[in-house]
């Protein structure tokens, strides 16, 4: 029987070993993907002329802005949490103060009663030479009063200790909040400076792209850069294993929600003024608005890409990917799994946009698909 039990235990252990080995292999492949993308990024970002240098400066400006906004959001969240804790402590302090006043009155009553009875009340009862049963009853009453008096005084002292602890906690929270307000103001000043630097870079870049040929060259470069990234990511993730219980992306055709609420500024395949056609859809949305995943997937790119700004790409399996560009900030990192409706970024204007919006694409095997065929509404 022991051998049978050991045999079945071993059978149970084997799948666990394989699962652990598979997970480690997946993590190693993700690390390799990240390294390959970083190498590609370095190649794509090589400075070849004044325009490239300006674009590199713009990338630096916009990454600084994105990081500052994330820090500001974190400080705000911490301040809100501390503010709620401070209000809770103040409510507790108020309750303890009311309890303290009530107990103080009881302590004063007990002290007055003790004074009236005198310090030798037990001896006086014994020397009165009354009926022994009456004396025993009076002594029990007296002992009860002493214990009650002791409890009242102990409760009062405990309340004072709690009140002191809560008051100290309030002071600490107030000091911390004051420090966070100073940090917030510093970050806001730094953000203003970074935004001014960005605008100066955009102005200089606009002069470089003043002619139609200059703008067209830039658009071709941006499209080529994005295509190279998508192709590289597609090759890199080809060997990754997706969960078998995941709903196939293709079955959700026409059922998915758009990643952000807003007006669609262009149609897929629409010809632009410079002759290039749109391979995705730009959604006009307010800066800071949530960008949501349209379907379950794994983050395979989350970084700045010239021409797309802060870009995040999700792999949905079977060759399908969704791309979300020009974000203010990204909330997920490469390798993370996200569910449909999860916030993955915040709408912005990175990549040199003059107004905020989300650029959205769906691709299969690297080829753009019409998002209106997949998302409803």
SS (H, E, C) the chain: CHHHHHHHHHHHHHHHHHHHHHHHHHHHHHHHHHHHHHHHHHHHCCCCCHHHHHHHHHHHHHHHHHHHHHHHHHHHHHHHHHHHHHHHHHHHHHHHHHHHHHHHHHHHHHHHHHHHHCCCHHHHHHHCCCCHHHHHHHHHHHHHHHHHHHHHHHHHHHHHHHHHHHHHHHHHHHHHHHHHHHHHHHHHHHHHHHHHHHHHHHHHHHHHCCCHHHHHHHHHHHHHHHHHHHHHHHHHHCCCCCCCCCCCHHHHCCCECCCCCCEECCCCCCECCCCCECCCEEEECCCCCEEECCCCEEEEEEEEECCCEEEEEEEEECCEEEEEEEEEEECCCCCCEECCCCEEEEEECCCCCCCCEEEEEEEECCEEECHHHCECC
Instruction: Please name the residues in contact with 346: beta carbons below 8 A apart, sequence gap of 6 or more.
Output: 69, 287, 288, 289, 290, 291, 327, 328, 329, 331
Average confidence (pLDDT) over 198-204: 78
Is the pLDDT score of 165 beyond 70? yes
* Cβ-defined contacts of 165-174 (< 8 Å, 24+): 166/89, 166/92, 166/93, 166/96, 167/93, 169/89, 170/86, 170/89, 170/90, 170/93, 173/82, 173/85, 173/86, 173/89, 174/86
pLDDT band (50, 70, 90) for residue 111: low
Token look-up 């070993």 returns 17
pLDDT at site 141? 52
pLDDT at site 340? 95
Is the pLDDT score of 110 beyond 60? yes
pLDDT band (50, 70, 90) for residue 88: confident
Is the pLDDT score of 61 beyond 60? yes
Q: 42-51, 95-104, 158-167, 318-327 — which is least confidently predicted? A: 42-51
Is the pLDDT score of 127 beyond 60? no
pLDDT band (50, 70, 90) for residue 363: very high
> Can you tell me the distance from the alpha carbon of 226 to that of 304, in angstroms, rounded to the nearest whole number?
11
Report the chain's mean pLDDT, rounded to a whole number: 77
pLDDT at site 268? 93
Average confidence (pLDDT) over 195-218: 70
- Which has more confidence, 35 or 232? 232
Strand-pair partners of 305: 309
Q: Which of 47-61, 230-244, 307-321 has the highest mean pLDDT?
A: 307-321
Is the pLDDT score of 364 beyond 60? yes
φ, ψ at 148 (rounded to 5°): -60, -40
- Which has more confidence, 233 or 51? 233
Is the pLDDT score of 172 beyond 60? yes
- Which has more confidence, 62 or 139? 62
Average confidence (pLDDT) over 46-52: 56
pLDDT at site 250? 93
Q: 95-99, 186-190, 254-258 — which is least confidently predicted? A: 95-99
Average confidence (pLDDT) over 78-101: 80
Is the pLDDT score of 42 beyond 70? no
For the stretch 225-270, pLDDT in tens is 888 888 888 887 777 767 777 889 999 999 999 999 999 999 999 9
pLDDT at site 14? 44
pLDDT band (50, 70, 90) for residue 368: very high
Q: 106-120, 181-195, 241-255, 267-281 — which is least confidently predicted? A: 106-120
Q: 87-96, 136-145, 223-232, 269-278 — which is least confidently predicted? A: 136-145
Average confidence (pLDDT) over 324-353: 93
Is the pLDDT score of 50 beyond 60? no
The fraction of the chain above a pLDDT of 90, given in percent, is: 28
């Amino acid at each position: 029987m022991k051998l049978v039990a050991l045999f079945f235990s071993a059978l149970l252990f084997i799948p666990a070993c394989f699962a652990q080995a598979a997970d480690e292999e997946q993590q190693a492949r993700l690390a390799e993907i990240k390294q390959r993308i970083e190498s590609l990024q370095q190649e794509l970002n090589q400075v070849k002329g004044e325009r490239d240098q300006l674009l590199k400066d713009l990338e630096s400006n916009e990454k600084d802005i994105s990081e500052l906004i994330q820090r500001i959001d974190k400080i705000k969240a911490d301040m809100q949490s501390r503010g709620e804790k401070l209000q809770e402590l103040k409510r507790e302090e108020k309750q303890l103060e009311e309890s303290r006043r009530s107990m103080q009155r009881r302590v004063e009553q007990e002290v007055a009663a003790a004074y009236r009875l005198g310090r030798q009340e037990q001896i006086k009862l014994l020397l009165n030479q009354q009926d022994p049963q009456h004396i025993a009853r009076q002594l029990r009453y007296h002992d009860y009063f002493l214990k009650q008096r002791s409890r009242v005084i102990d409760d009062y002292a405990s309340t004072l200790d709690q009140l002191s602890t809560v008051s100290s906690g309030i002071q600490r929270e107030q000091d911390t909040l004051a420090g966070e307000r100073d940090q917030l103001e510093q970050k806001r000043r730094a953000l203003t400076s970074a935004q001014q630097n960005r605008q100066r870079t955009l102005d200089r870049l606009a002069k470089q792209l003043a002619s139609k040929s200059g703008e067209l060259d830039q658009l071709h470069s941006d499209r080529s850069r994005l295509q190279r990234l998508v192709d590289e990511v597609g090759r890199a993730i080809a060997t990754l294993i997706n969960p078998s219980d995941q709903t196939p992306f293709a079955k959700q055709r026409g059922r998915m929600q758009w990643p952000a609420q807003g007006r669609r500024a262009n149609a897929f395949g629409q010809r632009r003024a410079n002759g290039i056609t749109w391979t995705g859809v730009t959604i006009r949305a307010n800066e800071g608005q949530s960008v949501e995943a349209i379907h379950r997937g794994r983050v395979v790119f989350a970084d700045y890409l010239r021409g797309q700004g802060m870009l995040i790409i999700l792999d949905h399996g079977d060759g399908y990917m969704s791309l979300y560009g020009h974000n203010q900030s990204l909330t997920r990192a490469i390798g993370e799994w996200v569910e449909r409706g999860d916030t993955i970024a915040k709408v912005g204007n990175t990549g040199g946009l003059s107004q905020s919006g989300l650029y959205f694409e769906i691709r299969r095997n690297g080829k753009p698909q019409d998002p209106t065929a997949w998302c409803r509404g």
